[in-house]
Structures are given as C-alpha cells and as structure tokens.
Amino acid sequence: MAGPAGGDAAYLSIQDVVKDFNGYKAVNHVSLDIAKGEIFALLGSSGCGKTTLLRMLAGFETPTSGRIVLNGQDMAGLPPYERPINMMFQSYALFPHLTVWQNIAFGLQREGLPKDQVAQRVDAMLKLVQLGKFAQRKPHQLSGGQQQRVALARSLAKQPQMLLLDEPLGALDKKLREETQIELVNIIEQVGVTVVMVTHDQEEAMTMASRIAIMSEGRFLQVGAPADIYETPATKFVADFIGNVNLMPGTVEVDEADHVVIGSADCKHYVGHGITGTQGMDVTVALRPEKIHVSRHKPQDDFNTAHGTIKELSYFGSFTVYHVELASGARLKISQANTARHKDDELTWGDAVWAHWSRSAHVVLTQ
Amino acid sequence: MAGTTQPWLRRLLSGRSAVIGIPYGWLLLFFLLPFLILAKISVSEMENVVFKDLITYQDGLLQLQLKLGNYIFITQDALYVKTYIASLQYAAATTLLCLLIGYPFAYFMARARPERQTLLLLLVMLPFWTSFLLRVYAWKGLLSEHGWVHDAIIGLGLDQLLLAAGVISTPGKLMNTPFSLVLGMTYTYLPFMILPLFGNLAKLDVRLLEAAADLGATPWVAFWKVTVPMSKAGIIAGSMLVFIPCVGEFVIPELLGGPETLMIGRVVWDEFFSNNDWPMASAVAVVMVLLIIVPLALFNKYQAEAQEAGR
C-alpha cells in the first residue's frame, strides 16, 4: 500500500504496529501517517505506550507485528545506529566525559566525516543553539536549559530525516519551559526536520505540535490538530484528559436537523447544531469551564442555564475558577477571566449564582 | 571549670572529627609510625646486636649520624636495581592480565539480571572462603608434572607458545617460572580488579549507550567511546588494588616463583631473616614504598587537578 516516497505518500507511515511485552500489549494495533515537516506529538499519561512507540521508531524496540516506513524505506531490521533518525533523550543523556563540542561531534565522527567538515557542522550547530561560548565545557557545568540545547544540537547535527523528542522539556522548570517551547519550535522550523515528540504535558503538546495523538492503553483515541482535539473531543476520555471539562449526562429530548435539546439533571441544553443520534438516546454533554458565564442575575434564556451556590473559589491571577454546586449536587466548574482590577460586587463563597452558556458551547458525546 | 567548652575542644569531640579521625589514627599508628621506625633503622649503624643512637650528645657536641651506605649500596648493586625492575614488571603484567580478564567479567556481571548478579558476585568472593595459602599451594599441584593444568597445557602444545613468549625457559616445565608466578598472582588478585570495576560498570547509565547507538555508534564503538572512558575510575581503582600489593608480594613468588623470578619481597625477607641485616632490609623496604607511593601521589594529584578543572 505504501509506495515509494513522493507525491502524497506519507513521510512516516506507522502501519498496524503492535508491541507485545509477555502478553501485555504496550502498543496495540496503531496506525499513523505523518507528513514531512510536521511536528507530531504523542500525548498520554505514563504507561500509555507512547514511549514504547517512540523507541520503536528509534530502533531500541522491535515491533511484534506491523511496519514502520520512513521516506519509503522499511525500518524493519535496521538497528538504531543505521537509522536516519536521531533522538533527543529524556533528561538528555549527554556524555558526561565529553565536552559540549565533542558531544555534538560524536554522531558526525561516527559517519566518518573529514575533520574540517565535522568542525564546520559542530560550529554551525553551536551557533544555532547559541552555545558557542560553552563549547569546551562539560555537560555538568551547564544549566538545565543549556543542557537541553546541547542535546538538541547533538540530535540535529547529523541532519536526520526525523527527529524524536522524548519529553523534551520535562526536566525544566515552568518558566524556562515556556520560553524554551517557542525557541525549540523556532529551531525545528528553521532546520525543517520532521518531528515526533512524546509528552505527558498537554500544554507542551498543544503549543509545539501541529498535530496530536491522544494515547491510552496502547491505542490512539483521537488524532488531530490541538484546537480540534480541545474543541471537539471525540470521547469523554479525551474531553476529560485535555484541559478541564464539565461532563453532564443527559437524554436527547428534541432531535431536529438544526438543533437538539438535551435534558440533564439541572438544566436543559439547547445545542445549536444537529447530532447523529436519535430521540431518547443517552448522551453526555461536555462544557469547557471558560465557555460558561456566571452572574447573580437570572439570564433571560430558559435553556443553557443552571442555578447554584459557589462552594469553592480558586484565584489564579489572570482568571478565577468557581465551583458551583447545582441542585442535584453536581458541581459545575466555571472559569472567568479577571478583566477588571477590583469589582464592586465580587462573587464569593456561598453566593447564589446563575450559570449561562451559549448555544454553540457544548460538545455532545455519545461515547 | 566554666560551663562553656573551648571551641577547639568541642570540634575535637564532635562526631565528625571522630569519624574522620579513626582512619587517620589508624594510618598514623599502623602505617606512618612503622614506616618512620623503618626509615630510622635504615640509616642506623649496627653495634653488635643493637642500633647506635642517631643523635648523640657528648662534650657539648650534638651529633646526628645518618648512615646512608645502605641506600648507596642499593643504587650501586645491580641485584637490587634488577629486582626492583623485575618486581614492577611482574606487578604490571599481573595488573594487565587482571584487567583483561576482569573487565569482561565485571561487564557481563553488571549487565546480568539482578538475581544472577548476586550469584556471580558470590562466585567472585567464594575463593576468599578458603585460605589464600591453600589456594596458592593448590596451583603448585596443578602446575607441577602430572598436574591437570600442566597436562592440559602440554597436551594442547601451549607450552611452545609460553616458551616463545619467554615466560618459561624449558619446554614442559611450568612451575617456578615467570609464567607460574604471574598466573598465581593474577588468580589471587583478580577479585580485587573485578569488584571495583563491577561497582563502576553497574552504575553506568544504559541510556548513554542508547544515545551512542542513536548517533550511529555500533555496539563495539559505543563500548570504546562511552563504556571504557566512563569506567576510568573503576579501572584505576582496580589496577591500584592489584598493582600495589603485587610489587611487594612475598608468598606467591616464594611458592610459585623460582630462582629466575626474584622479587623485592623476597630480598627484604632474606635481608631480615637470613642476613640479619636490619638496616639494609629496612632500606630496601623504604625504597620499595617510595617507588610505589611517589608515582601514586603524583598520579592522584594530577587526577584531582583534572577533576577540579572538569568541575
């Protein structure tokens, strides 16, 4: 099915790959096509199989069945040291006995490149990651962020056909992580390499990747652009896994082509688009906290509104999250941007409030 | 007595100085002090069976008399120089052999499954459960005529190889040769090489080997470019543990060596117990200690500086 490279053929093609560890399927019939130049993220909690999949791409694990084809070349039987793929390891795995310069040169020297070319490439790499001054240092003399850049330079030095990133920013603290995310993407785009990254950090996946695969128990639950996954999750699991969400079970009461009404314990949902369902069907309505508006005043709309009491309140600076307890005892998470500095009439614990949301705010989930 | 103790006294009595003090005290009492006594004897003049005092005071004349004759004699007599060189050579050969045998052993031990690791570690230490003397004696049996090892080596024609290498001088005769001496020392000191190497190699982060493979290094290249340089500390520690005692080894050359394999431990013994020339024996011993300690100290200093520069 996968022909030679070129045309519309996928650059990297993972075809029905299974990895079985003594009867436990760490990766369970996974298929995926990645285009050239894409930054693709495998996102999932620990033990979901994302690292195993990455290690199969690098050649450290052999698939039990299935094929991995890169640029028209079947990777089966190719040991890691013969693959045109390089990896940036989790916590970097820099060689402690070598200097920064020697670390970056390591791969080039293995290719048997002449000395002057090695030097040229290493210097270009050092410039790319802005570490020229640190060329003669040992890894332990560098900060975490600098080590990360050495690791990146080392994995890009051989100009691989594909770059693998294993939790690329996991070892950095939050502030540095945000800066590095953007820097990393800039460098990757400058080089133009195709990337598969593994992360458990959804923010990292969302900001860096052009597409994300959500993995759980060795399978892909959903593959798509970050916004697609966030705004139209396919399942309750994905909706819950990515960001915060309120999940409300309900039943379809009115099913029209341009709208549906779903009744749930505390309110009636008017959904401004049709769904593939039938009247009387049990569904789950997913609502993101930031899409709900909260106030003391009863909205005019009878639909898409719920009444309750503020039970908890978490102030995050730029926004505040309210936990509103509804009549049924269910809690609704609502987040509001703090646009003004001091409101006269600030909501607080115990206030009776109305929550309201628009007709396009929901996602109706059937599984 | 005031309620407050002196700061220096408090520091002296603190747990930390006690912990550091015990090994220091040990070295002082059992190494430095005997060494100084030895050094003193080596420059003393014998007067029948007692040593003359080094410092004499008579008629307002304070005299320090150091007899350096022994040292001068050591440098002039070819026997001593030759023996020192031979001792260093045998010790170096033993160290090299221990490294060649011990490194792969330690490597596979470090890579083995944890439950097998325990078993292998036990096997390395098992020989210590039998007296060292018995084990060296056993080699005497194995290597002399009609011993298994002797017969196997002769049977396989390996004695020709040993002859060509110059470690035996007569075909078919393995005992009391440089071969039997180095074999015995290698056998005895091998665990001292394996254990520090194992400790070092077990700590090696396998991800570094994966990183090397990822960057295009075959397992063989990764071994030489990553594993070996990373285990430098283990190699140095193991080599010192083998080399130092081997230089002054007495029992193994006595039992397995022959007239052609005179080592410095034997010379010290002879001077002490056959010639009863304590000053001479002491001088030989002092030179031996200096021969080992001076290069070691220099090496340590260099290592520490390299580490300092690296940090």
Cα distance between residue A203 and residue A209, in whole Å: 10
Whether residue B19 has pLDDT greater than 90? no
What's the rounded Cα separation, in Å, for the pair B206 and B222? 11
How close B228 gets to chain A, by Cα (Å)? 11
Do A108 and A226 belong to one domain? yes
Using an 8 Å CB-CB cutoff, list chain A residues near B208.
93, 95-96
Q: Verify that A221 and A305 share a domain, yes or no.
A: no
- Residues A150 and A284 grouped into a single domain: no
B310: distance to nearest CA of chain A, Å?
7
What's the pLDDT at B55? 84
Give the neighbor-by-neighbor strand order of the sheet with A246-255: A268-271, A260-264, A246-255, A282-287, A363-365
Write out the two tokens for B244.
Answer: 């130092």
Question: E-assigned strands of A243-349?
Answer: 246-255, 260-264, 268-271, 282-287, 292-295, 305-315, 319-326, 331-337
Helix-helix angle A100-110:A144-156, to 10 degrees: 20
Spell out which residues of chain B touch residue A158, defining contact as CB-CB under 8 Å. 215-216
| A residues 135-164 lying closer than 8 A (beta carbon) to B | 138, 140-141, 154-155, 158
What residues of chain A lie within 8 A of the CB of B218, using their CB? Answer: 81
- Domain presence at residue A285: yes
- Cross-chain Cβ contact B230/A97 below 8 Å: yes
pLDDT of B49 above 90: no
Residue A142's nearest CA partner among A104, A171, A98, A100 is A100
For residue B309, is pLDDT > 90?
no
- Residues of B contacting chain A (CB within 8 angstroms): 205, 207-208, 210-218, 221, 225-226, 229-230, 232, 310-311
Residues A200 and A253 in one domain: no
- Tell whether A6 is covered by a domain: no
Same domain, A255 and A331: yes
For testing contact with chain B, the best of A54, A60, A81 (most B CBs within 10 A): A81
Query: Of B226, B221, B305, nearest to A103 (Cα)?
Result: B226
Chain-centroid distance, C-alpha A25: 22
- C-alpha B294, offset from chain centre: 14
CB count, 10 Å around CB of B28? Answer: 11
What is the token pair recorded at B292? 């080992």
In which band, very low, low, confident or very high, does the pLDDT at A7 lie, cut at 50, 70 and 90? very low
* Type and span of the H or E element at A12: strand A12-21
Q: pLDDT digits over A39-94, tens only?
A: 999 999 988 999 999 999 999 999 999 999 999 999 998 999 999 999 999 989 99
Chain B residue nearest residue A106, CA to CA? B215
Token couple for A82:
């013969």
Indicate the residue of A85, A89, A110 with minimum beta-carbon distance to B207.
Answer: A89
Rounded-to-integer distance, Cα A354 and Cα B288, Å: 93
Q: What are phi and psi of A126, to 5 degrees?
A: -60, -35
How confident is the prediction for chain A on average, in pLDDT? 90
Name the residue among A79, A97, A154 with its Cβ closest to that of B229. A97
**Mean of all residue pLDDT scores within chain B:** 88
Residue B161's H or E segment, with its range, is helix B158-165
Asked if A125 contacts A104 with a C-beta cutoff of 8 angstroms, the reply is yes
**Domain edge (last residue) among A237, A256, A277:** A237
- Say yes or no: A257 and A356 in one domain: yes
| Helical ranges in A92-193 per DSSP H | 100-110, 115-128, 144-156, 174-191
Top-confidence residue, A88 or B311: A88
Closest Cα in chain A, distance from residue B124 (Å): 30
Q: Report pLDDT for B103.
A: 97
Is the same domain home to A42 and A166?
A: yes
**CA-to-CA distance for B137 and B180, rounded, in angstroms?**
12
The rounded percent of chain B whose pLDDT value lies above 70 is: 96
Q: Residue A3 domain-assigned?
A: no
- In this structure, what token pair is assigned to residue A144? 């975490």
Contact state of A93 with B216 under an 8 Å Cβ cutoff: no
Residue B134, pLDDT score: 92
- Decide the pairing of beta strands A211-216 and A219-224: antiparallel
**B218–A81 C-beta distance less than 8 A:** yes
| CB contact A121 to B (< 8 Å) | no
Q: What is the pLDDT of residue B13?
A: 72
Residues B261/B69/B293/B86 CA torsion (nearest 10 deg) = -20
Judged on CB neighbours under 10 Å (0-12, 13-18, 19+), A201 is middle
Give me the mean pLDDT over the B258-280 stretch. 88
Q: What residues in A contact B232, CB-CB < 8 Å?
A: 97
Euclidean distance between the first and the last CA atom of chain B, given in angstroms as a whole number? 48
CATH code where residue A168 lies: 3.40.50.300
What pLDDT is attached to residue B4?
A: 63
> Looking at the DSSP assignment, which residues form a beta bridge with residue A295?
A354
| A36 lies in the same domain as A176 | yes
Residue B222 to chain A, least CA–CA distance (Å): 10
**Which residue in B215, B220, B225 has the most chain A C-beta atoms within 10 A of its own C-beta, making it the best mutation to test that interface?**
B215
Beta carbons of A60 and B216 less than 8 Å apart: no
> Within an 8 Å CB–CB cutoff, is residue A79 touching chain B?
yes
Q: Alpha-carbon distance A263 to A27, whole Å?
A: 39
List, for residues B279-308, the tens digit of each pLDDT value: 999 999 999 999 888 878 888 887 777 766
Identify all chain B residues contacting A97, using CB atoms and an 8 Å cutoff: 226, 229-230, 232
Q: Tell me whether residue A2 is in a domain.
A: no
**Interface contact flag, B214 A138, Cβ < 8 Å:** no
8-state DSSP, A92:
B
Range of the domain at A206: 12-237
- pLDDT confidence tier of residue A160, bands split at 50, 70 and 90: very high
- Determine which of B214, B220, B225 to mutate to test the interface with A (most A C-beta atoms within 10 Å): B214
Residue in A110, A138, A141 closest to B221 by CB: A110
- Same domain for A102 and A225, yes or no, is yes
Query: Is A273 domain-assigned?
Result: yes
Q: What proportion of chain A, given as a percentage, has pLDDT over 70?
A: 97
Q: Strands across the sheet with A352-357, in order?
A: A292-295, A352-357, A305-315, A319-326, A331-337
Average pLDDT estimate for B128-136: 90
- List of chain A residues whose C-beta atoms are within 8 Å of the C-beta of residue B216: 81-82, 107, 110-111, 158
Contact assignment for B230 to A96 by CB distance below 8 Å: yes
Provide the pLDDT confidence category of residue B161 given band limits of 50, 70 and 90. Answer: confident
Domain tally for chain A?
A: 2
More confident residue, B17 or A164: A164
d(C-alpha A285, C-alpha A330), whole Å: 13
In-domain check, residue A38: yes
In this prediction, residue B1 carries a pLDDT of 47
Give dist(CA A144, CA A137) in Å, integer. Answer: 14
Confidence of residue B48 (pLDDT cuts 50, 70, 90): confident
Q: Please judge whether A106 and B213 are an interchain contact, meaning their C-beta atoms are less than 8 angstroms apart.
A: no
Tell me the CATH number at A267: 2.40.50.140
Domain boundary among A203, A237, A271: A237
Contact A86 B311 (CB under 8 A): no
Chain A residues inside the 8 Å CB shell of B226 = 95, 97
Q: Helix crossing, B69-76 with B278-310: angle to 10°? A: 80
Q: Is the ipTM of this complex over 0.90?
A: no
Residue of chain A with shortest Cα separation from B208: A93
Domains observed in chain B: 7-64 (no CATH), 77-276 (1.10.3720.10)
Q: Among residues A220, A237, A254, which one ends one of the domains?
A: A237
* Contact assignment for B215 to A97 by CB distance below 8 Å: no
* C-alpha–C-alpha distance, residues A172 and A58, integer Å: 24
Mutate to test the interface with B, among A54, A56, A100, A110 (most CBs of B within 10 A): A110
Nearest to A121 by CA among A137, A141, A101: A101
A233 and A259 fall within a common domain? no
Give the residue-averaged pLDDT of A283-307.
90
Q: Is residue A133 a part of any domain in this protein? A: yes
Size of the A and B interface in Cβ pairs below 8 Å: 60
Are A112 and A210 within one domain?
yes
Yes or no, beta carbons of B212 and A97 under 8 Å apart: no
pLDDT (0 to 100) of residue B229: 93
Q: Is A177 on the interface with B (CB under 8 A)?
A: no
A4 domain residue, yes or no: no
When CB atoms are compared, the residue of B210, B216, B230 closest to A158 is B216
A62 touches chain B (CB under 8 A): no
Residue A100 has pLDDT above 80, yes or no: yes
Substitution target from A100, A106, A141, A154 for chain B, most B beta carbons within 10 A: A106
Same domain, A268 and A347: yes
